[in-house]
Structures are given as structure tokens and as C-alpha cells.
Structure 1
């Protein structure tokens, strides 16, 4: 069961990211004063400034940050201080090239960008620990500092590691896990293609092989290894900072990136979790239209839902304030008037109690000089600064909402083993990607919100029982302990929905010789007798569910009911026309549904309606599909965030009297929302 987070903001707070090393000292005080005038009370600094403290190996100077932090104390500006390990200095990488990460073919990533190190180099861990120790020892009790950020965006830019140090560490990882080579060879199925290992030294992180045919079971363990390496590096820094920081100061890092168990990292290393929110990525001008998200910036709510599963009351370390882009990649339009507020309020609606805009002023040089901040190169007041000030005024009206909990109608179950399996298995990847995307879209357009829950072997049944309905879309890998937990959830009155391709692998990624859905069969009452991707040579596959035609896209399980299973829908076409497509089984007070396909927004609506959870807010508020509706609850008070993502007016209908928190106006009936407008209501009973 997830432990409570160690830190939570007492009021919704606004900050920004600032880089004094980029600017003349003559600007510092004026910048801090202008920030305060805009409502900014916290700044994040130092995460890329190793050389400012250690310009040469083992030579430490503190004059720069001493001077700046003294000014922050004078101006009563609070500071989150970043450890600078995301960008090792040139003297370090030149003298110790073994610290560099490598491509899969062994070519090192050289100095000049960021995140070009590896977590497992003993020398890099030694030097990282030393710089963190020096900083924490010197600044841990500084009155201006309220928080510490570890590194910057762990596993961003690159989330695979192929240095020699990684191979050494990977050998130790699998040796600890399997104890003997016989056990490892059995788990990885190395008898296939004569891959059997006879010495631990023969084992490496994945290397280039013909047709990228790397052993999938080795690669699955490799992703587990990356996660453990990342967490170990983070924990090393957290333990050092903890020795020196003041009571009440928090440790965080800004996620959420890949091949990393973010939940475990948050629990073992952090006091609170923060995220970097850039909804404008949806409008990237050089994106592939084939992979574009059809909800555009609203799609970022899917990421925020994931963040909330890690830390229910999180912070945003970098909230988009301007157009994004590097000199080397990414282009994007500037936020339209109102979108800066919309995107920041999107974060608040989903649980953020701290919003820090990236960045105060756009850098005038180097790779990120097109990653625009609040202020532009000319340093003049502009419409973005005016909007930040207006956003602050709105935030101050929301103090009573701080700490309120997000309301979810259902839960979406996930786990890291199945997530990492999508890296290994293209069959799983396509199926999972379809359902993950469409469950989110259905939730958004039908105003039926969900929470994400990550299952592990220690998950408590109480966590599951908070939700009347759980969707575990495609749990390819299934364990006996998780199956038992799910059966208990159903028996106690829960409704469990699984999709196709479920329960046919064990933990090492090998297929089980059991009828699908494997260990879940006793819960679902379904027996998969055949399965197939849908064929592009045939019409789209549909099924008949009590007179309704529902789509069954991408992949189909062809089933028979067993052990008191009941068929709810039959396939309409293809060679399996007339065969069961959806099966239900009652167990105790609840039931499970095996939906024999991937999920779509259309068939999700049918499932949400069947389970009785569709549009839970409709008695209080109606909104068009273009508007996001979020409820947060605190005690007996209910608050609605209503967000218009469109550049056109949208109409909503309030069915109960509500108070607009921005202006304290009582409202009821039809409300016309302006383009990109946000409104926050308190429901008046």
C-alpha cells in the first residue's frame, strides 16, 4: 500500500525557474522584485551549474551561490536548489570518459549536451556524491532554501544505457536475481538459437544483433535493471541531502520519464513528486500527423493522471509559459492568450498545489534559446507576464481547494512489468497503445474521470476497493498473487474489466501453457480457443451486444464461456462470426468482464454505461465534449474545474447553484465560456 507523501503544500503556490548564471548580476535584484510583484514566491536554481561550485576537480568555491542566495534572503524569495548531476563538466568527462553513456554499438555520447552520463560508473557516482555532499553541507541550513531537486528529469533524453559500467552492473543485477547460470538460462529460454551462457562474463546489456532480435527475456530484465539503477542514483543523493537539510525542507525530483518505476522512486527517495508540464507539445509544427493526438493540449491530462497515481498532491516544477523548441529540434506556436492560464489550471485541476513556470526569461544563447519563458529576450513586460499576474490572482481565490482530492469514477490498473513488456513485444505494444489512448479519450469526452493505480506484489485490497469499476486493459504478464487480489476485489463487490491478450505470460515474459486468460480464467469464466489480429483484407470486426453494434478493433480473442461464464456479445463477422466476444462471470458480490478486443472510445461508452458509471456529474453539470470537467472534494465541499480547450465559445449548463471562486458570483443555468476560459465552482448544497 502506498505510504503517505512526506510533504504537502499548505496553500497553492506559484514559482518559476531561474538561471542567475545566465544573466548579469545587475539583473538579479530587479528580476526577483518583478517576480514578487507577479505573485512568484519560489524559484528553482542550480540544476545545471556544476562548474559554478567545482570549476576544477576537487576545487570548491561557493562565492557565486553565496551571493545569489544572500540576495534571495534579502528579497524574501524562497529557493529550490537543484543538484547539478544532469550535466557533468568538461574537465570530468575528459579525464574520466568511463562516466559517459554509450549508444548500443558502444560509441560514447560526448560532452556538449546533457544527461550524457551513466548511473553505474563508480567514478561518476563518487564525484556526484561528492558535489552533492559539498552543496548540502554548505547550503543545507540556508534560510532561503525550502526544497532540493535531485538531478533534472531522470531518464529524459535517453532511457537506455550501454556503457561498460552498465554491463558490469547488469551482471551483478542478474547474478543477485538468479543466483546460478542454470536458473538464468531457464528464465531467459537461452536454449533458443543456442544462446546458453556458461560464464557470467558472457552476459552484457543488449548489444546490436541481427534484425534487432535480442532475447526478449534478457531485455525485460534489462529494463528492470535500468529502473533499479536510476532509483539507486537518486537514493544516493537523497540520503546525502537528508543529513544536512533543515526540518520541513523537502526533497523532490522532476519526472515522469521512461524505464523507471516512478512510484518506487517517490516512496524510497522523495518527500514530494514534481512534474514538467508542456501541453504545447501537442501543437509541435514538425510532428507526424499520423501520430498526432486528437485532443491536442487537453491530452496532457493523461500524463497528469499518471503523475497523480505517484503523488496525489504533486507539484509542477516546469509549467509551460511560452513556445517550446531547441535549435536542433522541436518547433511550436506561442500560447494563445488564455492558454498559459488554461494549461496551468489544467495542472491545478488534476492535483498540483505548486505551479512553477518555465522559465522567467528566455535564454539569449545556446540550444534552448527558442524555449521561451515568461519574459522574452527584450526583458520588457508583455502579455505573458500580465497573464501570470492574472493567474496568481485566480490562484489566491483557490486556497480553500489546496489539498482537495480528485474524484474518479473508475480506476485503470497498470504495472511496470507489463509496461516494460511493451518495449520488448510489438504485439503487446500495439494493443496496449490503442487501449490506453482510447480509454483516456472516452473518459475525457464522456466526462467520466479515472485514476490510475499501479499494481505491485504489496498492493492492498483497500486501494482497489475505492473504485466500483477497475479496467486492467491487457495484463499480459500475470502472477498468482495479483490474480488472487483481483479475485478478492470482485468477490467483495467490485467490477473488473479485462481486454484481449491477457494472462498469457509469466514474470520472465515466457508464455504459459494454460488456456488464456491464464490465471485470470477463474475470475472471468472465459476460455480463449483462438485469437487473431483483425485483417485489413476484411471489413472492420463488430459484435452484437444486446442489440447494439460495438466495434472490436485491432485484435480479437475468440472465446467460449466456462465455469458459469455468461456470453454478453457475439462477433458479427470474420471467420468467427457467432462466437462469443464478451463474457461475464459473477463471483461473490461482483463480476468480471472479459472484453475480447482492444478498447475504443465507442465501446468504452457501452462498458461505462453497462457498469453504471457513465457521466457521474450529469446531475450537477452538463458540458460539451470539447470541455474538460474535473471534480475535487475536500471534506463535504465539492469543487468543479471547467476548462475550455477550444478557441471558440462553449456552453455549459449548471443544474445546481454554484459559486464561482474567481469572482464570488453565484451562478446557475446556461453559462457561455469564452475561448480558452477556465472557471472553478464550489457546489452550493
Structure 2
């Protein structure tokens, strides 16, 4: 691995499998299910993450007979098992006897038993009982020949990622006392003198509560999200320490990427690698209404975020059917070929283990419309046959690709503080989403692979220097430490792109009393002379490039007028009309051996593509001509051996052109010249 060693899944072959819930099915079905899994080429199943009542039907009364039979039968059929700790769904006996374990809304209303993730992380009795069930399970299954690893809980912070129980308020005070030491320092960090919010006793301090106009103290809200993340990590740590101690020969992970949780910190401190749950058809529920939407292709970015935590990882839930609960999230069925496409999308981006959700669609409960590979009736269907095709293909190639890392020369920088601050700060939060979307489209449609890179002060310079280009669209919170790291990157020859509202807040969310862009003004060679939000009845000014061709773009709903402050700065674009006419909008600054670019707006697809040309980044495979609808991804081994993935997201055939002969691994064919990819088809070239 280039740079520091990251926590990664290490397996010799790519592994396929499914999520399986033996408690949902008559025991007479188990053996046939396992047998058919093996026939599809599956080698691994995931189970037990919602089965606390089976392991502990009454407080202090433990039983393992049921899952012993399920695991022994899996072992008989050569299936390995990932066991989930069942703490995502506390039993009814627990929530009834100990109601303090329930999560509570910001308005003070407890969430009751009847769904999942209705508990809080900080109730002492819940931590105690969770630790006990984990220890009992780990001790019982530590030597079971089928069990290879553990999943802690299930999708931490999914469904809900805010917590306001009495236990959470108390834990928040303790967390703040550790962080700030005194109320004086807390009041300073929260700017509590504003609107007379000053605290004089720790008992006055709470997590955010309902306020007039739904606008809490922004610095308190930022600390609240940091606290929630640390609470989730502490709860996971409680379990991880037990699993490490009782079952040292089995790996430990957890699944999903959800809000208000620093997954990088959690993985680095607790896990062997991170696992993800990939549902590309969510793109049909939360569509991109902008230009040229990515749709399910956008999940490649989600997988890039996973890869920023673990360069090789597992997908514990890979969408295999239409999705929906009984009351929400209706999704269309994947079209023929899409399940296979999404499987290879995950593998192309670093997944060396892929488990489909789920083996068979539940016949009862909330998820009866969240379909798996098999339907309720258990008869053959096209999803089963598609899984069979994937199983045969993976059997051919898995040993070649496993362990190879995704290769990219450009990264989009992210960080948790700006992500969390942007939820409340509607000035920069939506800008970030809009700009990242524009850059993803530009990179995807021009076949330039991209990484996500979460930046922090402890990051080494070598981790940045492996990229030719870094894009940090709107880092509103930007500390001196991060600014200095970025300056050193550019001094050493890197290229760095910023957007509007960069660098004007400190780590608490206070605004610097400095000209914008604050800590990186010297790096960018500019200051911000003026700025405006474009009102609903106002027209945004046009932006025109200054060199060569008269290239003109529409700006977006926010614009900054830039003032050149360095002789090494070059104006690349100006505003065309309105009171900003002829004023700089985009500036390139030579700094050391590299360049910093500052754009005083929110990035559009056109501006992102223009900057791609400016910095000279092109697709890394120069012997293939590819249409926009086809994604290019490259995985590379340390010895330089590369595998090129071509993924067709279109429901129509797409033509590619190969200038040289290359072997397609899935079929073994040697291809050259003009070739047609079928709808949702996948090619892998060595």
C-alpha cells in the first residue's frame, strides 16, 4: 500500500455469498438452501445479527442449540459464516425491563420496541447486557470451524443518527468536560456569549434541544455530532475488545457507512477492515435532478469512500432484487444484467468479498418487499440464474484480482467536520453536494478514476503526493494544520483545486477575522473582494474563460469576486455581465513546484471538465476509446499487474474501440478494434 498501511480485507480469492436468516425459515429448508448456494459458487453466509432473543430468550438464560445446528450444517456443506453480534435489535424483555436503553427524539419522546435501532449507545445497562451477549457468543463460537469473522451490530447509525436519551445528555457532559476541561473553555468554543447562552453549571449543558426557528447554537451542534460519533465508536469498541480477547483467530468488522460516525477512526482503532452495504437502486428514490445524472453509477463514489477506509473490503449486502419496506422506499426491480453489473462495480472498486442481500425474500415483517435472490416461492428465477453466471465467472478470475488495489491519480478531499457542519450551515453544505456531484460526472464521463480521501492533520504528506490532482470543493472549516499540509503538497508539485467559501472557519466553526479564503489566501494568491448568493428572481452572471477560445459557462447560485494578490497568479476566467463584469472568477496560482486553483463559485459539470483539461488529466488507458455510458476502473497489484474493468451502465448497447489486442478475462476471448458491449455488460481486461 502506498503511504501508511490501512486496514484491509486479506483473502486469496474473491468470495461470493449471501445473507441468510435461518430463524426465518423452517429447518427443513436449510440443507437445500445451503446445497443450492454451493451450486451457485457461493462460499460464505452472514447471519445472526438480529437474533438476540434466540441466544438469550430470557435475561441470563442463554441457548445456542438453534444456531449450532445452522452453523454445523453450513460447515457440512463447505460454507463459511460471518456472525453478527445481535445488538441492533434488543429483545422485548430488555426494553420492557430497562426502558432507559431506548433512544429518545429531540422533543423527548422515547422510540418504542417494534422496529430496529431503537436503543442508545450510552445507557450503562445496555452496554453491560450487550457486552455479556457478545462475550457468551464469542466464547461459544471462537473455535467453530465455519466461523471466520464477526460483524459488530448492524449498520451503526442507520435509520437514526441522533440520540437524546437522559443517558446521552449525561455522557455528553462527561465528553465535554474531557474535551474542554472548564466551562470557561466550553463557553469560548461555543461562542456562548452570543445571545446570552453562557453556562455557569455543567447541569445546564445538554445536547441540542428544540429551539425557536429550529436553529440551535451551531458550535454546540458540531460538537454534538462529534460526540455521537465517539459514542458509536465506544459502543463498537466495547464489543471489539471482547471479540479480540475471546476469539483472536477470527476477524472483526462492521457494515455500512452512515451519518455522524467517523468510520475511518473506528476502523483504524477497532476493526480489521470495513464492510459496506451497496444498494445502487436507491438512485431511483433519491434521483439526481441535475444535468446528465449518474444514477446507479453514483454508487462508484460511495464505494470510493469505502475504499478510503479499506483499500480492499467486503460488501455484506449487495442489492440483488427490488427494494422496499412495507411503508416506504419502493424500488424497481434490477433489469436483467444489473445485478451482475453492480457486483462487478463493487469488485472493480476494491471489494474482495460480496454477499448478496438476501438469499430469499422475507415472507413476513417490515422487509417483505425487499427482495433477495430467491422469491418467496423458492422456484428458479432470472436473479438466481444471474447469480449462477457471476459465480462461474468469479471462479475463473478471483485468484487473479483479489488483493489488487484501485488505481487513481486524482482524489476528492473530504472531512467529517465540514460534512457535519454543512448539515446545519445551509450556505456551504448544499454547495459541497452540488460540486462533488459535478466533479464525479466530469471524472466518470471522461474515464478518469477518482479516489475519496478524508483529510486530517495527522495525515502524512506522502498520502497526498501519490495524487497528481486534489479537489477540495468547499472546505469551510480549514485549520492551520490542514492548510500547511496542503501548502506543502503544492510546493512539492501537486495541483489543488478549491471552490467558493473555502477556509473561513476554525475547528469550532468560528469565522476567522481574516480576508477570505483565510488560511489558504497565500496558497491561492487571491482574496475575496465581494460575494453574493443569487436570489430566486436574479440571474446568475455568466463566466467566460480568458484564454484562446471564447468558452462561456453559466455560473451557479453563489459567486465570489476574486482579487489577485500575487504576481504568480493568472486569471483564467472572469464574470461576463452584471456588476461583477470583468472581475476574476477563476484564478490559477503558481506556488513552489505546483499550482493552486480557486474558483469563486459552485462547480458545474462544464467548469469541472474545463479544469480537467487545464490540469491535463486524461483517462489512464490510452489504447481504449470509450463512450460516456461506460465506466473505466483499474485495479493494480504491487508488482504492476493491472486489470481494467469496463462497466456499461446503459440499457442500450455501447461501442468501444481497442487499438491493441487484449484478453477479456470473463470469456477468455482476445479482442481488438470495434466491439459492442451489451446493455449492463462488463469486460475485464488484463
Structure-1 residue corresponding to 2:510: 510
Between the aligned partners of 1:304 and 1:120, the Cα distance in structure 2 is 30
Distance apart, 1:289 and its partner CA: 7.8
Change in 2 beyond 3 A, CA 1:109/1:366: same
2:205 paired residue number: 203
1:597, distance to aligned residue in structure 2 (A): 0.9
Deviation (angstroms), 1:290? 5.1
How much has 1:536 moved relative to structure 2? Answer: 3.8
Q: Distance in 1 between matches of 2:676 and 2:214?
A: 55
**Distance change >3 Å, CA 475–CA 632, structure 1 → 2:** same
What is residue 84 of structure 2 aligned with on the other side? 82
**1:368 Cα deviation after fit:** 0.5
Q: Identify the residue that residue 657 of structure 1 maps to in structure 2.
A: 661
| Residues 6/663 of structure 1: CA separation in 2 closer, same or farther (3 Å cut) | closer
| Consecutive unaligned residues in structure 1, runs of 5 or more | none
Contact kept? 1:442, 1:600, Cα under 8 Å: no
Q: 2: distance between equivalents of 1:343 and 1:408?
A: 20
For residues 88 and 109 of structure 2, what CA distance do their matches in structure 1 show?
20
Tell whether the 8 Å contact from 2:478 to 2:506 is kept in structure 1 after alignment: yes
Q: Which residue of 1 aligns with 2:12?
A: 10
Aligned partner of 2:274 in structure 1 is 273
Counterpart Cα distance in 2 of 1:88 and 1:120 = 14
In structure 2, distance between residues paired with 1:33 and 1:280: 29
Name the CA distance, whole Å, in 1 between partners of 2:8 and 2:598: 39
- Cross-structure match for 2:345: 346
Structure 2 SS opposite 1:238: helix
> Are positions 1:524 and 2:527 aligned together?
no
Deviation at 1:424, TM superposition (A): 2.0
Q: Provide closer, same or farther for how the CA distance between residues 616 and 3 of structure 1 changes in structure 2, counting only shifts above 3 A.
A: closer
Q: Once structures 1 and 2 are overlaid, which stretch shifts more, 288-297 or 658-667?
A: 288-297
**Contact 1:543/1:569, CA 8 A, preserved across alignment:** yes
Q: Could you tell me how far 1:246 is from its partner in structure 2?
A: 4.5
Matches within 5 A, 1:31-180: 31-180=33-182
* 2:366 alignment partner in structure 1: 367
User: Can you give the 5+ residue segments of structure 2 that lack an aligned partner in the other structure?
Assistant: none
For the 8 Å contact 2:9–2:352, the answer to whether it is kept is no
Assess if the C-alpha contact under 8 Å between 1:407 and 1:633 holds in 2: yes
Partners of 1:551 and 1:270 in 2: how far apart?
46
Q: Aligned-pair distance for 1:293?
A: 8.6
The equivalent of 1:259 in structure 2 is 260
8 Å Cα contact 2:8-2:312 kept in structure 1: no
Q: Is the 8 A contact 1:529 1:558 kept in 2?
A: yes
Partner-residue secondary structure (3-state), 1:521: helix
- Contact 1:534 / 1:541 at 8 angstroms: preserved in 2? no
Conserved in 1, the CA contact under 8 Å of 2:9 and 2:273? yes
CA distance in 2, matches of 1:507, 1:556: 24
* 1:298-330 Cα distance to aligned partner (Å, 9 max, x none): 121111111111111011000011111111111
TM-score normalised by the chain length of structure 2:
0.97
Pairs within 5 Å for 1:580-599: 580-599=584-603
Match of 1:303 in 2: 302
Task: State how far apart, in whole Å, the 2-side matches of 1:526 and 1:244 are.
Answer: 57
Cα deviation, residue 533, structure 1: 1.4
Contact 2:653 2:677 in 1 (8 A): yes
- In 2, Cα distance between equivalents of 1:607 and 1:475: 18
Partner Cα separation in structure 1 for residue 262 and residue 287 of structure 2:
29
Which residue number corresponds to residue 574 of structure 2? Answer: 570
Matches within 5 A, 1:248-647: 249-284=250-285, 294-399=293-398, 400-545=400-545, 546=547, 547-564=550-567, 565-617=569-621, 619-634=622-637, 635-647=639-651
CA contact (8 A) 1:434 1:598 kept: yes
Question: Secondary structure of the residue that 1:386 maps to in structure 2?
Answer: helix
Give distance in 2, aligned partners of 1:70 and 1:665.
41
**Contact 2:287–2:295 (CA<8 Å) still a contact in 1?**
no
Q: Matches of 2:444 and 2:179 in 1, distance apart?
A: 42
- Is the 2:9–2:313 Cα contact (8 Å) retained in structure 1? no
SS in 1 for 2:553: strand
TM-aligned CA distance change 1:219 to 1:523, over 3 Å: same
Distance 1:559 1:289, change over 3 A: closer
Question: Does the residue aligned with 2:330 lie in a helix, a strand or coil?
Answer: coil
Instruction: Report if the CA contact (8 A) 1:224-1:259 is conserved.
Output: yes
SS in 2 for 1:426: coil
Q: CA deviation at 1:554?
A: 2.3
Residue 292 (structure 1) shift: 11
Distance in 2 of aligned mates of 1:66 and 1:600: 56
Q: Tell me the CA shift for residue 656 of structure 1.
A: 2.1
Q: For structure 1, which segment, 567-576 or 312-321, has the greater mean C-alpha deviation from structure 2 after superposition?
A: 567-576
Shift of 1:291: 8.3
Give, in whole Å, the separation in 2 of the partners of 1:235 and 1:7.
Answer: 19
| Aligned equivalents of 1:490, 1:288: Cα separation in 2 | 36
Contact kept? 1:605, 1:614, Cα under 8 Å: no
Task: Quote the Cα distance in structure 2 between the aligned partners of 1:267 and 1:502.
Answer: 28
1:515-561 superposed Cα distances (whole Å, 9 cap, x missing partner):
01001011010111111112443433222221322333121111111
Query: Are the aligned partners of 1:293 and 1:299 in contact in 2 as well (CA < 8 Å)?
Result: no
Distance change in 2, residues 1:182/1:216 (3 Å): same
Q: 2:684 aligned with 1:680, yes or no?
A: yes
CA RMSD of the aligned region, Å?
1.4
TM-score (norm 1): 0.97
How many residue pairs match? The answer is: 678
The residue number in structure 1 matching 2:247 is: 245
Does the 8 A contact of 1:7 with 1:250 survive in 2?
Answer: no
Shift of 1:332: 1.4
SS at match of 1:9: coil
Query: How far does residue 2 in structure 1 lie from its aligned partner after superposition?
Result: 4.8
Helix, strand or coil at the partner of 2:131:
helix
